[in-house]
Amino acid sequence: MLIKVLSGIGGVVALVVLVALATPSKPTVPTITHLNFEPTYTQVFEEEQVATPVAEITAVSQQPPTPTHTLFAVTKVIDGDTITISMNGAPETIRLIGIDTPETVDPRTTVQCFGVEASNKAKELLTGKNVWIETDAITGQRDKYDRLLAYIYRDDGLFINQYLVEHGYAYEYTYNTPYKYQVEFKTAQKSAEAAGRGLWAPGVCEETTPAPQPTPQPPPTYTPPSMSGYSCSENLYNCGDFSTHAEAQAVYEMCGGVNNDIHRLDGDKDGEACESLP
């Protein structure tokens, strides 16, 4: 009887063991603390950053900055170094800093060599364009004529002051004190001179010496002949006996003129003797 019970118990145990072996066990989940998790996350993040293409990063760093300058419309080009813009709805005359172009409109002087060319180039560069301006604390804001002193940049970035000097349309000009771009403008003028550009081209502004004019001579003064050697009593002379009209006229008048033309020197009786003589 006992054997049968044990045998029965053994079968149950064996069955329980078989069931236990057949049932999958749940894996033991390790406890992950914040300290263990954060380094693992950081490592993955760094690996992703390293994987970013270098060319893509370089391209982004080379993008130009967006300009934030206020633009003004050019309403008039007065000459090579002076323009008028519209500022806050009113005209504002601008004198370009650091340059001087030959005069074309100054009533105190004549049109100077290459002045027309400089003025025309400024009109070509700026007529109908928009510009932004830069003032200079060294020169102050205005000159004695109340013109605003400024550097002018076209809306495409062209630096007008330097362009005119570099291409031979203007001289570098320092008034009293150095200004912000003095070194650059002096270098630009040397470049224009060396290359013979604009007003520095050979022979463009060389003064020509006018051909010498003959000194005007005063007209010869006539010395009346001595009347003591002439006779008025008979016809002794004709126009061929005199060198000039004045000489014949003197004898004619000495002898009485029209009323006594004894020598017949006044053929047409008009009071002028020997009119064919010089």
Q: Residue 140 and residue 148: Cα distance in Å, rounded?
A: 9
Residues belonging to the active site? 95, 103, 147
Q: Residue 125 and residue 105: Cα distance in Å, rounded?
A: 19
Is the distance from CB of 115 to CB of 96 less than 8 angstroms?
Answer: no
